[in-house]
Amino acid sequence: MMKVEVTIISKETIKPSLPTLHHLKPYKLTLLDQVTPATYVPTIFFYPMTNLNLDMSQIIAQLKTSLSDTLNIFYPFSGNIKDNLYIHEFDTGVPFLEAHVNCSMSEFLKHLETDLLSLFVPYHAFCKETNTAIGQMAVQLNLFDCGGIAIGLSCSHKIADATTASIFLHSWAATFTRSPEKVIHPNFSEGSIMFPPRDSLPQKYITTMENLWFKEGDYVTRRFVFHEKAIASLRSKAKSELVPKPTRTEALTSFIWKHCMATSKAKSVGPKNKSMTILVQAVNLRTRMKPHLSDASTGNIFWWAPAAADLAMEEKELHELVGLVNESIAGFNSDSAESLQGDEGFLAFSDFFDQLEDMFSAEPKPDVFAVTCWLRFFNDIDFGWGKPFWVGIMGKVGPAFRNLIIFSETPWGDGIEAWVTLDEKEMAILENDPEFLACASLNPSISISL
């Protein structure tokens, strides 16, 4: 096995190109931003640059210039958070690192070790950050020996969900290619109007959300690939009278949850053996508001839809779990989304926080699994060299994290990658589960012709 080394060769701070940003009013956080931890979400875009006669020094200069111009529009990404209420000091800037990778992209992807993806982003993924002064975003441009590049992004979840990160990246790419008509102009006010921040947010609510996000343990992340035929088979098994047409993600979420229950049950023995498991799914609230919010509405405009099950459910049929998953999402209709809005909506959030607090204080403590879907967010970020061949998500996670499932596209587009983070001992059970591996391939190599 080759030793992959990623060496930082330069670092500078990219600031907005317009000095007038000094006079802009502070950007208000939403209530949802306030309770979201300051943790960096990684995304890595691999561009082979095959058969392209390009001047790399010119590309690097243009990436920096276009980023600077994009920050004129997305100026909160260039600022600092103050008192968990707003972002100001928009001339702080975004760190931009250049790095050299001592191999070709084809070699790296063919012998992919997902833990090494941590080397391709500026900040460690999904750690509990206490120093918010280090900024909202950082970029790392990784240059392979073959001429291919990987753009690594670390974006603070405090100010952006997947939708907001996606419109930023699409706008940066549009600015790079001089396509102003493709730039998405963000709406910085809708979110804080719908979900106004609280000047005196109870600390217990912030602590409760941190408990949802972070728990001490020995976590590992594995990439499982579900091919088209396996997904079709699972969707067929997941059908029921209640859910006659389960989606791909409903079927996969339920299948993975079912097998994670089995791993938890196998590991949990003794007088304090666990009996309950909780699944929380990230739900985009923009399309559930009345009227709908556009994707240009920035911030964390999502919430968690919980579903609870007894660990004995792992012995049930797949369609029964799909019913629970579907029901939890269906509960977020326009009426329930509307109940979260405005000052009155804080009461609804308070009830949710209280329920979470009760859940975390229960004995024995239940396993909590979080699920988020990144399909169709990042697979078409085109800087003029074509779409990324592959989008890597996360390498090694911090010592305090959580059980997490992230869905993303496969390079060939007809399958789904599930990036699963679990306790190390539970992952060892899952990796050797023959029924699970009959549908999922564990970190298959990625072939690319350069």
Give the pLDDT mean for 205-222. Answer: 88
Kindly indicate the confidence band of residue 236, based on its pLDDT and cuts at 50, 70 and 90: very high
Burial class, 187, CB count within 10 angstroms (exposed 0-12 / middle 13-18 / buried 19+):
middle
How many angstroms separate the CA atoms of 117 and 128, rounded?
19
Percent of the chain with pLDDT over 90: 66
Q: Alpha-carbon dihedral of residues 382, 95, 103, 145, nearest 10 degrees?
A: 70
Q: What is the 3-state secondary structure (H, E, C) of 98-138?
A: EEEECCCHHHHHHCCCHHHHHHHCCCCCCCCCCCHHHCCEE
Give the pLDDT mean for 157-161. Answer: 96
SS3 144: strand
How many angstroms separate the CA atoms of 428 and 46, rounded?
29
The two structure tokens encoding residue 319? 């369609």
DSSP letters for 201-237: --HHHHHHHHHHH-EES-EEEEEEEE-HHHHHHHHHH
Q: Return the pLDDT at 200.
A: 87
Give the pLDDT mean for 417-427. Answer: 95
Q: Return the pLDDT at 367.
A: 86
Q: Return the pLDDT at 22.
A: 62
Q: Count CB atoms within 10 A of the CB of residue 216.
A: 9
How many angstroms separate the CA atoms of 82 and 96, rounded?
23
Give CA separation, 108 vs 111, 117, 144, 148, 149, in Å.
Answer: 5, 10, 9, 11, 12
For 275-328, the pLDDT digits (tens) are 788 899 999 999 888 888 999 999 999 998 888 888 776 677 899 999 999 999
Q: Return the pLDDT at 269.
A: 59
- The DSSP letter of residue 360 is H
The larger pLDDT score, comparing residue 124 to residue 315, is at: 124
How many angstroms separate the CA atoms of 416 and 256, rounded?
13
pLDDT score of 131 more than 80: no
How many angstroms separate the CA atoms of 350 and 260, rounded?
30
For 29-59, the pLDDT digits (tens) are 999 999 999 899 999 999 998 777 788 999 9
- Residues contacting residue 89 through CB under 8 Å, at least 6 positions apart: 79, 80
How many angstroms separate the CA atoms of 158 and 82, rounded?
12
pTM of the model: 0.94
Q: Longest C-alpha distance within the chain, in Å?
A: 66
For 88-100, the pLDDT digits (tens) are 999 999 999 999 9
Q: Return the pLDDT at 391.
A: 97
For 327-342, the pLDDT digits (tens) are 999 877 767 777 888 8
Give CA separation, 212 vs 34, 46, 127, in Å.
Answer: 15, 31, 13
Active site residues: 157, 382
Q: Among candidates 192, 195, 194, which has minimal Cα distance to 25?
A: 192
pLDDT score of 428 more than 60: yes
How many angstroms separate the CA atoms of 136 and 379, rounded?
22
pLDDT score of 84 more than 80: yes
Q: Are strands 149-156 and 137-144 parallel, antiparallel or unpaired?
A: antiparallel
What are the structural domains, with CATH classification, of the chain? 6-194 (3.30.559.10), 206-383+395-442 (3.30.559.10)
Q: Return the pLDDT at 47.
A: 96
- What is the b/e burial string over 311-350, where b = at least 16 CB atoms within 10 angstroms of the residue's CB? bebbeeebbebbbbbbebbeebeeebbbebbeeebbeebe
Length of the chain, in residues: 450
Q: Return the pLDDT at 133.
A: 65
Cis peptide before 364 (omega within 30 of 0): yes
**Centroid of chain to Cα 320:** 27
pLDDT score of 450 more than 50: no
Q: Return the pLDDT at 264.
A: 83
From 209-213, 269-273, 411-415, the region with the lowest mean pLDDT: 269-273
Q: Are the beta carbons of 389 and 448 closer than 8 angstroms?
A: yes
Q: Return the pLDDT at 132.
A: 62
Q: Return the pLDDT at 271.
A: 46
Q: Return the pLDDT at 111.
A: 93
Sheet with 403-409, edge to edge strand ranges: 302-310, 276-284, 367-373, 403-409, 416-423, 219-226, 441-442
Q: Are strands 367-373 and 276-284 parallel, antiparallel or unpaired?
A: parallel
Q: Return the pLDDT at 217.
A: 86
DSSP letters for 16-36: -S-GGGGGSPPEEPPHHHHHS
For 373-404, the pLDDT digits (tens) are 999 999 999 999 999 999 999 888 877 888 99
